[in-house]
Structure 1
Amino acid sequence: RVFAAICDVWPQADVFTAVYDEEGTEGRFAHRRIQTSFLQRLRPTARTFRTFLPLYPAAIESFDLAGYDLVVSSSSAWAHGVIVEESAVHVCYCHNPFRYAWSEREAALGTSGRLLRPGLRWLFNHWRQWDWIAAQRVDRYLANSDLTRRRVQRYYGRESTVLPPPVETARFAPGGPVGEYYLVVSELMFHKRIEVAVEAFNRLRRPLVVVGDGPELRRLRRIAGPTVRFEGRVPDQRVAELMQGARALVVTATEEFGIAAVEAQAAGRPVIALAEGGACETVIDGETGTFYDRPDPDALAAAVAAFDPLEVDPAACAAQAARFDVGRFREGLRALVTEACAAAPNGRRARRRPARRAGRVLTGA
Structure 2
Amino acid sequence: MANVTLAPTPANDIRRFGRVALVHDWLAAYAGSEKVVEQILQLFPHADLYSVVDFFPEAQRDVLGGKRAHTSFIQHLPRARKSFRHYLPLMPLAIEQFDLSGYDLVISSNHAVAKGVLTGPHQVHVSYVHSPIRYAWDLQHQYLAEAGMQRGMKSWIVRLLLHYMRIWDHRTAHGVDAFVANSAFVGRRIRKAYGSDATVVYPPVDVERFELSTEREDFYLIASRMVPYKRIPLLVEAFAAMPSRRLVVIGDGTDFARAKACATPNVTLLGYQPDAALVDYMQRARAFVFAAEEDFGISVVEAQACGTPVIALGRGGVREIVVESQDPERATGLFFGEQTVASIVDAVERFEQSPPFRADVCRRNALRFTKERFKREFLGVVERAVEASRVPADPAPEIRRWRSA
Counterpart of 1:191 (choices 226, 229, 232) is: 229
- Mapped contact 1:60–1:81 kept (Cα < 8 A): yes
* In the alignment, structure 1 residue 328 sits paired with structure 2 residue 366: no
- Mapped contact 1:251–1:274 kept (Cα < 8 A): yes
Per the alignment, do residues 307 and 275 of structure 1 end up closer, same or farther by CA in structure 2, a change over 3 Å counting? same
* 1:54 aligned partner, one-letter code: P
1:100-139 deviations in whole A, cap 9, x for unaligned?
1112111122342333211111111111111111112111
Distance in 2 between residues matched to 1:178 and 1:95, nearest whole Å: 33
Structure 2 counterparts to residues 1-365 of structure 1, below 5 A: 1-23=35-57, 26-27=60-61, 28-29=63-64, 31-42=66-77, 43-45=79-81, 48-111=83-146, 112-113=148-149, 114-115=151-152, 116-175=154-213, 177-205=215-243, 206-286=245-325, 287-308=331-352, 311-345=356-390
Higher relative contact order (CA 8 A, sep 6+): 1
- Between the two proteins, what is the percent identity of the paired residues? 39
Question: How many angstroms does 1:176 deviate by?
Answer: 6.0
State which drifts further: 138-147 or 198-207.
Answer: 198-207
- Which structure has greater helix proportion? 2
| Runs of 5+ consecutive residues of structure 1 not aligned to the other structure | 349-365
* 2:186 aligned partner, one-letter code: T
Root-mean-square deviation (CA), in Å?
2.2
Distance in 2 between residues matched to 1:215 and 1:45, nearest whole Å: 19
- Mapped contact 1:69–1:85 kept (Cα < 8 A): no
* 1:270 aligned partner, one-letter code: P
Distance in 2 between residues matched to 1:50 and 1:221, nearest whole Å: 28
* 1:128 aligned partner, one-letter code: R
* 2:103 aligned partner, one-letter code: Y
TM-score by length of 2: 0.80
* 1:337 aligned partner, one-letter code: V
Per the alignment, do residues 337 and 45 of structure 1 end up closer, same or farther by CA in structure 2, a change over 3 Å counting? same
Question: How many angstroms does 1:69 deviate by?
Answer: 1.0
* 2:317 aligned partner, one-letter code: G
Runs of 4+ in 1 over 4 A off after TM superposition: 345-348
Greater Rg over alpha carbons, structure: 2
1:146-177 deviations in whole A, cap 9, x for unaligned?
11111111111011111111111101111264
Aligned length: 347
TM-score by length of 1: 0.89
- Mapped contact 2:221–2:282 kept (Cα < 8 A): yes
Question: How many angstroms does 1:211 deviate by?
Answer: 2.8
- Mapped contact 2:74–2:84 kept (Cα < 8 A): no
Q: Secondary structure at the match of 2:136?
A: coil
- Mapped contact 1:73–1:91 kept (Cα < 8 A): yes
- Mapped contact 2:45–2:65 kept (Cα < 8 A): no
Q: Secondary structure at the match of 2:296?
A: coil
| Runs of 5+ consecutive residues of structure 2 not aligned to the other structure | 1-34, 326-330, 394-405
Distance in 2 between residues matched to 1:347 and 1:66, nearest whole Å: 21
Distance in 2 between residues matched to 1:171 and 1:317, nearest whole Å: 15
State which drifts further: 155-164 or 178-187.
Answer: 178-187
Distance in 2 between residues matched to 1:252 and 1:97, nearest whole Å: 21
